[in-house]
Amino acid sequence: MRRVMVAVGLVAALCGGCAGSGLPRPVSNATSWSRERFLRAHPPSGTPTAEPATFGKRVGALFSHDTKGDHFCTASAVDSPGRNLIITAAHCVHAGGGGGYLRDLVFVPGYRNGAAPYGIWKVKAQFVDEGWAKDSDPDLDVGFAVLEPRDGRNIADVLGSNLLGINQGFGNIVRVTGYPTSSGEPVTCINRTTQELKYQMRFACNGYPPGTSGSPWLTHYDPKTKRGEVVGVIGGYQLGGLVDAVSYSAYFDDDVRRLYERAIGQSVAN
């Protein structure tokens, strides 16, 4: 598998992939990214290349236990009533194929070269669809995790959060930001998504090697509120892709909405 690199001992083997979320939607017009507006008018003729990300505190790296080992996946803060939820790929938190949830995980938003500017957040509970848990269904390679509070505050209290976009179609201008395992800093890229399979989306950009599984696909960004909609995460078909220049995501449909509702129900109950 090319997208996720799990620390030794985490698992024996990893994977042998409504009209909206009910939350208010950010505006998407002249306030959007200037490059997003440009791409809508002038679609690129080639494949762009990811650049170092100089922003994006709501995106972070996933580690086992602490930051002493390698980060192996990417996750991001997503809106929830409990203000304590992150989204990633299912294969980042569950082995799939009849296996179990990975344990002792931490989320480090804004991680850079060993620094954790917004703290290290412990994962309290994870959620994947039964189709992933039993059969490693790539169309259900989406996962959520509830984080424990830190110093009396929840993750969204510190970072804010993005919205979850359900049934937003296969063609969106998205920014994808993630953490290659080989680097101490995140990369980012903007391009238009396309449909790959019935329930799979495709994103073309050079520079997304192992470690970028779970990277959020963010669209409809509003610079006034600093929020957008997560409409995908690297994962799904080929566990996110076999080459660094092409990434995939399961399509966020009503199955993802139901999983989200299960996760937020548990996050509020706890």
CA dist., res. 11 & res. 22, Å (int): 36
- Per the CB < 8 A criterion, the answer to whether 169 and 117 are in contact is no
Residue 87 in domain: yes
Whether 26 is covered by a domain: the verdict is no
Cβ–Cβ under 8 Å, residues 67 and 259: no
3 state SS of 12: coil
- In angstroms, rounded to a whole number, what is the distance separating the alpha carbons of residues 192 and 204? 8
6 located within any domain: no
Strands 163-164 and 227-233: parallel
pLDDT value at 21 more than 70: no
What CATH number is associated with residue 215? Answer: 2.40.10.10
Q: How far is CA 169 from the centre of its chain?
A: 18
Of the listed ranges 20-34, 84-98, 120-134, 252-266, the least confidently predicted one is 20-34
In a domain, 108, yes or no: yes
More confident residue, 22 or 83: 83
257 is a domain residue: yes
Residue 49 lies in a domain: yes
Note whether residue 163 is domain-resident: yes
In a domain, 23, yes or no: no
CA separation for the pair 79, 108 (Å, rounded) = 17
Q: Which domain holds residue 215?
A: 34-269
Domain count, the chain: 1
Residue 246: strand, helix, or coil: strand
Percentage with pLDDT > 70 across the chain:
82
Task: Please tell me the distance from the alpha carbon of residue 13 to that of residue 99, in angstroms, as a whole number.
Answer: 9
Provide mean pLDDT across the span 36-44: 56
pLDDT band at 157; cut points 50, 70, 90: very high
